[in-house]
Structure 1
Amino acid sequence: MKYTKLLTAFLFLLSLNLSFAQSYVGHSVDNYSGVHGVIYNPASVVGSKVKADINLVSASVFGGSDYFGINISDIISSDGGFDFEDDAETFSSNANNFFFNADMLGPSFMFNLSKKSSIGIITRVRANLNINNINGELYEAVADDFDSDDDFDFDSQNLNGTIHAWAEVGLTYGRILIDQPNHLLKGGVTLKYLQGAGSVFMSSPGLQGSYDASAEMLTSQGELNFGVTHDVDGEDDFDFSNLTAGFGFDVGFSYQWNSKVDSETDSLPSYKKPYRLKVGVSVTDIGSISYDDAVLNNYDLNANASTANYEDDVEDFLESNYNGVETRETAKIKLPTALHLLVDYRLAKKWFVSAQANLSMVEKNADLSTSVINTVTVAPRLETKWFSFYAPLSFREYGDVSFGGGIRLGPLTVGSGSVFTNLLSDSSKTTDVYLGLKIPLYR
């Protein structure tokens, strides 16, 4: 069976610095964010500032690499002549990482059942890519068809990578658990029915070797496991017409404290009480999708291989130069489970500042899984019924600091958690952008 197109797509994603992991940076903590807040904490569905929220379509991409560092201004001014291999600043190591997240939120809605309970229906299509602990020089040589004059050694330990695409339909239920004059506690859960479109995955416990440029010879020691699910073949990439079912869920809680207690605020319904402090905790993407009859190839890489005739086809190169054993088995692809923490403080009537942490609960070296990158974001915001503005400052895994901005103008939301850093920095390692259109029904 041939997987050339998938391998080409795999390397193509690696060759981009727009390899995108948190969605809707800054916007998700807005009290008027509606469905977008629910995907991070299902408790947000109840006691909301909106009586109903209908998402038409939204999309977010997020990601990057600790291998590339670029200046977006250089790309814009290059008139299409920017070359990542030649023009981007690189930070090669034996353990470079690449990550990608594309998240499309389809027709979705939420509304109140009663004063203390609400429900929502959420549809999404998502794609994740994680490549961990790959040698930067080896990656560059493969991406450049071994057209290099430089010798190099490589030693990648616990190399692994997974590409996974799936769709999901979620049913969210939230309820107010405690409603006192100055204390409000909410809980929520989202049950997800998953439809997996397919996955490509690889792993190697240890891959060492060297490359002799003058002799065009690659010497390696170790082994490589490379697999594809049965829903992915050489004619189509990820096939959303032949899906594999799975299940998952999110769970979360939110606590609000109102420091001012008087007869005026005591009589207000929960959603109108002007809290001073909000604290949220949630765990999202608990679950997996199992693909029966996945194809796994185990290659013995203890050999010398000539790269003289390498023609941008990793599959043919592996099959032509190394002994491989093909087996079929069930591949259980785990979702990018993450812990989300939020502290939101009201500075004045319409001004807030939030601190949010998104932490992966998946081990970096875990096979058959994707993960979010660990991120802490501090974001001041101006929030009103029809308009909000966000200015998120994020401290992201792999040493990247990103500063961006976003706005919500009635039904339209647009933003990026890294737009200003991407424009001003000489070597930005992550980037993201999001856009959404919805019909909010305010209280």
Structure 2
Amino acid sequence: MKRLMLFVIFISITNISNAQSYVGFLTDNYSGIHGVISNPSNIVDSRLKIDINLIGASAFFGNDYIGFNLNNAFSDFNKTFDEAATFPSANNSLAWNIDVLGPAVMFNLDENNSLAFFTRGRAFFNANDIDGNILEKEGGFDENEDFLINEGVISGSFNLWAEIGVTYARVLLNREQHFLKGGISVKYLQSAGHAYIFSDGLSVNYDADSRLAETSGELIFANSSTSDEGGNFDINNGNGFAVDIGFTYEWRPDHANYAKLDANGNSIINKGKNKYKLKFGVSVTDIGQIKNSNGRESTYDLNTTQDIDNFDGTDLEEALEQNFDLISTTPSLNSIMPAALHTNMDWNINSKFYLNTNLDMPLTARNKINANRSMSQVSLTPRYESTLFSLYSPISVVQYVGLQWGAGLRFGPIYMGSGSIMSAIVGKNTKSIDLYAGLKIPFYQNKLKDKDGDSIQDKLDNCPEKPGPAENQGCPWKDSDGDGILDKDDDCPQKAGPQENNGCSWKDSDGDGIIDKDDHCPNTAGAKEHNGCPDSDSDGIVDKEDRCPNTPGPIENKGCPDRDGDTLVDIDDSCPTLAGPISNRGCPEVTVEVQKQLNAYAKTILFDTGKSTIKVESLSVMVDIIQILRKYPNANFTVEGHTDSVGSSISNQRLSEARANAVRDFLINEGIKPNRLSAQGLGEDKPIASNATRAGRKQNRRVEINLIK
């Protein structure tokens, strides 16, 4: 009977889980290489230049079935379990894990990049959904009483493995009060053993009268032993890879207070100080799996009835082989790592006291075959932190375990603590205990000292006891000539002078008898009545205020003349000798009457028949046109040639263009600027009279000169 119960109990308690290691210590900004365990981004912008871990180990045990009094362990160890209180339920759980951080090193490549190498050994065991009543009866079942056990779904695994990893982290954003860093760890995994079990619908029905036990269901069992003589733990059982990735954001409202200056005034970041007021971290760890090269998975048919005395095997695998039919045997499944999400917030209350909150959540399914699963955990950790010493006291709520209160410290190279030691000492029914300890060699970042408070690092400050500006190498400024003006602001530091002249005696730079402070034009000689400024054209307006300093003009025109009296001064007038409106830049405008006169003249221009040659008798008309154009020097015109409809339109077009250009060329030759004239031939397209009559055709053969508006 006892062997049968042990069999049922064993297969009920093999579901792996992982509780956080080094509880409390990982919140420390001086945890160094240990930071990669929870968030790989922790190693960049660290308070450590280099951190070398020699050896460290963390162990955890927790359950919600048995509660023991830790004080009994020190007085009478046997009483610890003999007098322990039990809390059986249909879903009791227990777990243990061991996490060993072996030789590891973290170092900074530069202020924005860091690298770490580490070795680690890990083992985890957890039991979930155990019927605590079975544990209560184990060893005390009455074979003369019937009983029924119905366990439902059972899923669990055990894994032991070693890790060799490398971590890279860098600063992603450093913008005054906003700081972001990220990191990634890649880990090579080497399995030293595994075991897993799965069953859906396992039940045991015992009949006392017949002493027969009826079992039902199917059960999958696997381990890394591949032969009857072989052991379960062999470093060649399988390998794989896993990845951790994390990010950390820091809010630094007082970032300017943590920057010092060198002798040249360049900013130096104080790497030895925590600069954040609030820090937020998020990471996902253990994304990966181990490919099990050794090991077998066996599926057993449990649907049988047999005498309870048949269960005489020494272990689970032997009991299965001797009492149940083997359905199939296949290679072991891969071991899934306990992927977990970690979020973290750290409040820098002041430079020594901090408050940290942390949440760990599993990302693997509860009943996935051969999948390790982490335990959910919420922690609140107040701590005192300094370079050589830190003290922390985490308060946590752990899945299956409940409330825990711990304590830990770091003193130089030594770190030790527990996430549950205080609750174990104070409580009468302690359900969990964890411990960690280790030894490392830390190399701390230098804290920049500034005794005189002038923001210049002491070792670069020429006067570390007296505050002074960076531009004077941290020393106060002198006043060599005793005029009350510091040398840095004194243009003549060796000769006294008034402050309004930057510490120099007054000069008369232009030699006009007026000292520079009273001279409105200190570098140009001028009359006293003009405050030392010249008036070159003697119009009563000094040159610097005169738009036309070399030509006299009235003050209302700012010293410029207006010869044509059109209110537009000559320097702005395109026609300074011809009056015209301002809207036409001081030039006369072409009126409708003038336009009509131009076209009246143009229509009388005669050409040789069928040619573009202007006849001699039209020269007087051309002179009249030129005189009109010269009266309006800023007006532009287009010369248009027109024909009647006699002949082909192509020849008419060519003829009209030739005659228009002939007129334009004549005008240009007589002094009209080329840019004022354009020419185009319109052929027979724009008649002004009917081409059906001789008189109409004569009117259509014409040249027009039109204003371009």
Instruction: Mark yes or no: TM-score above 0.5.
Output: yes
Distance 1:347 1:107, change over 3 A: same
* Partner in structure 1 of residue 29 of structure 2: 31
Distance 1:71 1:296, change over 3 A: same
* Partner in structure 1 of residue 322 of structure 2: 320
Distance 1:428 1:101, change over 3 A: same
Cα distance in 2 for residues equivalent to 1:378 and 1:419:
15
Cα distance in 1 for residues equivalent to 2:345 and 2:207:
54
Describe the superposition over 1:241-269 as per-residue Cα deviations: whole angstroms up to 9, x where unpaired: x2422011100000111122436547452
- Equivalent pair of 2:12/2:130 in contact (CA under 8 Å): no
Cα distance in 2 for residues equivalent to 1:163 and 1:419:
27
Question: Is 1:244 aligned to 2:238, yes or no?
Answer: yes
Cα distance in 2 for residues equivalent to 1:417 and 1:219:
45
* Partner in structure 1 of residue 200 of structure 2: 205
* Partner in structure 1 of residue 91 of structure 2: 95
Count of aligned positions: 429
- Out of 164-173 and 242-251, give the one that drifted further: 242-251
Cα distance in 1 for residues equivalent to 2:226 and 2:107:
36
2:353 to 351, 376, 383: 351
Describe the superposition over 1:60-100 as per-residue Cα deviations: whole angstroms up to 9, x where unpaired: 012322232222223333234544xx543333333332322
* Partner in structure 2 of residue 304 of structure 1: 305
Q: Gaps spanning 5+ residues in structure 2: where?
A: 1-5, 261-266, 446-709
Cα distance in 2 for residues equivalent to 1:263 and 1:95:
54
Cα distance in 2 for residues equivalent to 1:65 and 1:151:
29
Aligned partner of 2:367: which letter?
A: N
Distance 1:68 1:79, change over 3 A: closer
* Partner in structure 1 of residue 182 of structure 2: 187
Aligned partner of 2:200: which letter?
A: P
Cα distance in 1 for residues equivalent to 2:157 and 2:383:
36
Larger radius of gyration: 2
- Equivalent pair of 1:198/1:232 in contact (CA under 8 Å): no
Distance 1:351 1:269, change over 3 A: same
* Partner in structure 1 of residue 130 of structure 2: 134
Q: Matched residue of 1:421: which SS?
A: helix
Describe the superposition over 1:137-164 as per-residue Cα deviations: whole angstroms up to 9, x where unpaired: 445666x496888764332232111110
Cα distance in 2 for residues equivalent to 1:404 and 1:439:
25
* Partner in structure 1 of residue 291 of structure 2: 290
**Higher strand proportion, which one?**
1
1:224 to 212, 219, 228: 219
Question: Is 1:401 aligned to 2:403, yes or no?
Answer: yes
Q: Matched residue of 1:262: which SS?
A: helix
Q: Matched residue of 1:98: which SS?
A: strand
Cα distance in 1 for residues equivalent to 2:244 and 2:215:
43
- Equivalent pair of 1:154/1:209 in contact (CA under 8 Å): yes
Q: Matched residue of 1:420: which SS?
A: helix
Superposition map of 1:59-74 within 5 A: 59-74=57-72
* Partner in structure 2 of residue 3 of structure 1: none
- Equivalent pair of 2:18/2:374 in contact (CA under 8 Å): no
Distance 1:75 1:232, change over 3 A: farther
* Partner in structure 1 of residue 596 of structure 2: none
- Out of 351-360 and 327-336, give the one that drifted further: 327-336
Describe the superposition over 1:408-435 as per-residue Cα deviations: whole angstroms up to 9, x where unpaired: 0110011000011122223332221101
Question: Is 1:75 aligned to 2:73, yes or no?
Answer: yes
* Partner in structure 2 of residue 439 of structure 1: 441
Question: Is 1:269 aligned to 2:265, yes or no?
Answer: no
Structure of higher RCO (CA pairs closer than 8 Å, 6+ residues apart): 1
Aligned partner of 1:219: which letter?
A: E
Distance 1:426 1:43, change over 3 A: same
Share of identical aligned residues, percent?
A: 38
State the shift of 1:297 in Å: 1.8
Describe the superposition over 1:382-418 as per-residue Cα deviations: whole angstroms up to 9, x where unpaired: 0000000010000111251000100101100110000
Q: Matched residue of 1:39: which SS?
A: helix
Aligned partner of 1:262: which letter?
A: A
Describe the superposition over 1:203-254 as per-residue Cα deviations: whole angstroms up to 9, x where unpaired: 11222234467876543322211111357865423123x2422011100000
Distance 1:316 1:229, change over 3 A: closer
1:254 to 243, 248, 254: 248
* Partner in structure 2 of residue 4 of structure 1: none
* Partner in structure 2 of residue 49 of structure 1: 47
* Partner in structure 1 of residue 597 of structure 2: none
State the shift of 1:366 in Å: 1.3
* Partner in structure 2 of residue 155 of structure 1: 150
Distance 1:237 1:327, change over 3 A: closer
Aligned partner of 1:227: which letter?
A: A
Cα distance in 1 for residues equivalent to 2:341 and 2:173:
23
Cα distance in 2 for residues equivalent to 1:392 and 1:147:
45
Aligned partner of 1:418: which letter?
A: S
Q: Matched residue of 1:336: which SS?
A: coil
Distance 1:302 1:74, change over 3 A: farther
Describe the superposition over 1:92-138 as per-residue Cα deviations: whole angstroms up to 9, x where unpaired: 33333232211110000000001100000010011112333333344
Cα distance in 1 for residues equivalent to 2:420 and 2:213:
39
Cα distance in 2 for residues equivalent to 1:243 and 1:145:
39
Give the structure-1-normalised TM-score.
0.88
Give the structure-2-normalised TM-score.
0.57
**Higher helix proportion, which one?**
2
Cα distance in 2 for residues equivalent to 1:281 and 1:250:
11
Aligned partner of 1:260: which letter?
A: D
Distance 1:151 1:389, change over 3 A: farther
Q: Matched residue of 2:400: which SS?
A: coil
Distance 1:168 1:20, change over 3 A: closer
Aligned partner of 1:88: which letter?
A: A
- Equivalent pair of 1:21/1:62 in contact (CA under 8 Å): yes
State the shift of 1:318 in Å: 2.3
- Equivalent pair of 2:18/2:97 in contact (CA under 8 Å): yes
- Out of 159-168 and 68-77, give the one that drifted further: 68-77
State the shift of 1:301 in Å: 1.9
State the shift of 1:289 in Å: 0.4
- Equivalent pair of 2:93/2:130 in contact (CA under 8 Å): yes
Cα distance in 1 for residues equivalent to 2:417 and 2:210:
50
* Partner in structure 2 of residue 412 of structure 1: 414
State the shift of 1:181 in Å: 1.9
Cα distance in 2 for residues equivalent to 1:214 and 1:393:
53
- Equivalent pair of 1:132/1:364 in contact (CA under 8 Å): no
